[in-house]
Amino acid sequence: MTAPTSVAPARVVTADDLRLERVSWRAGRRLIVDGVDVTAPPGSVTGVLGPNGSGKSTLLRLVVGALPPAEGTLLLAGEDLRTMTRRARARRIALVEQDSPTDVPLRALDVVLLGRTPFRSRWATDSPDDVELARAMLARVGAADLADRDVPTLSGGERQRVHLARALAQEPHLLLLDEPTNHLDVAAQLALLRLVRELDGVTTLVALHDLNHAMSACDHVVVLDGGRVAAAGPPSEVLTPDLLARVYGVRADVVPHARGVTLVFSELDEAPT
């Protein structure tokens, strides 16, 4: 992995605020997302947290338009996402899924160039500016050396960085990340979270399992439990031992240190040390 670099965007992008009100989604008769409210201020990093099956990934797919909400309101900068065309939405929202396809017969650079699709006419080819931007985004995520590699030959972590570069090539106003640190080693996880924190003109909604990552990287968090919002607010105020015992079923000790705090977990019935 090459070191991530700082790259200026090709155009000025303004972060949009996201507001979800009473959003629900059903799979058959089962409510997977149940009356969820989320507010993500412009330029903020908002974490979506919760145990497996709590609705985190589904919520992101509702925002990007991959799933239609059963009810509720989804607003981006005050505009109703449900009435936007797919192209208009793709020009403003980018999603990096948890598990991206591994058998795509393309070079990494070609995958990143897919992020420019919403800005091209149907039969247009990649412009020199598109290629320059795609290479810049690969450099930004520390993957410049992967540009000419075939995607099926990449490791899980390398593919994750390529798909993040593809999302950044869309120059999104809203970036959706579903478990972005999956498949990454510790150093790469920290580098990715730092990059997300440093993005200008982007509002980020990120689903995370690692609660310590949420503590260090997020301005706000929304904790889901059974498809409903269990708590929301600044992570230091939300991720309390009481909340974590109730939602995750674990004991959590808050350990302060020079750079903040770390949550240390143990089983609920385990005696404190």
Q: For helices 186-198 and 156-169, what crossing angle results, to 10°?
A: 10
Query: What pLDDT score does 215 carry?
Result: 95
Show the CA angle centred on residue 40, arms to residues 179 and 96, nearest 5°. Answer: 30
Query: What pLDDT score does 13 carry?
Result: 65
DSSP for 207-238 reads E-S-HHHHHHH-SEEEEEETTEEEEEE-HHHH
Sign of CA dihedral 67, 73, 74, 79: positive
Residues paired with 228 in a beta bridge: 225
pTM given for the model = 0.90
Contact 96, 73 (CB under 8 A): no
Mark out the alpha helices in 30-85 (DSSP H runs): 56-64
Nearest Cα residue to 64 out of 199, 207, 165: 207
- In the chain, residues under CATH classification 3.40.50.300 are 13-92+172-272
Show the CA angle centred on residue 159, arms to residues 101 and 67, nearest 5°. Answer: 45
**Residue-by-residue pLDDT tens, the chain, 273 positions:** 555 554 444 555 678 899 999 999 999 989 999 999 999 999 999 999 999 999 999 999 999 999 999 999 999 999 999 999 999 999 999 999 987 766 778 999 999 999 999 998 777 788 899 999 999 999 999 999 999 999 999 988 888 899 999 999 999 999 999 999 987 889 889 989 999 999 888 999 999 999 999 999 999 999 999 999 999 999 999 999 999 999 999 999 999 888 888 999 999 876 555
Contact 115, 128 (CB under 8 A): no
> Distance between CA atoms of 25 and 62, rounded to whole angstroms?
8
DSSP for 153-218 reads GS-HHHHHHHHHHHHHHT--SEEEEESTTTT--HHHHHHHHHHHHH-SS-EEEEE-S-HHHHHHH-
Right CATH for 13-92+172-272 from 3.40.50.300, 3.50.50.60, 1.10.533.10, 3.40.50.2300 = 3.40.50.300
Query: What pLDDT score does 6 carry?
Result: 45
Query: What pLDDT score does 105 carry?
Result: 84
> Distance between CA atoms of 262 and 266, rounded to whole angstroms?
13
* Residue 128: exposure state from Cβ atoms within 10 A (0-12, 13-18, ≥19): exposed
Show the CA angle centred on residue 37, arms to residues 34 and 43, nearest 5°. Answer: 140
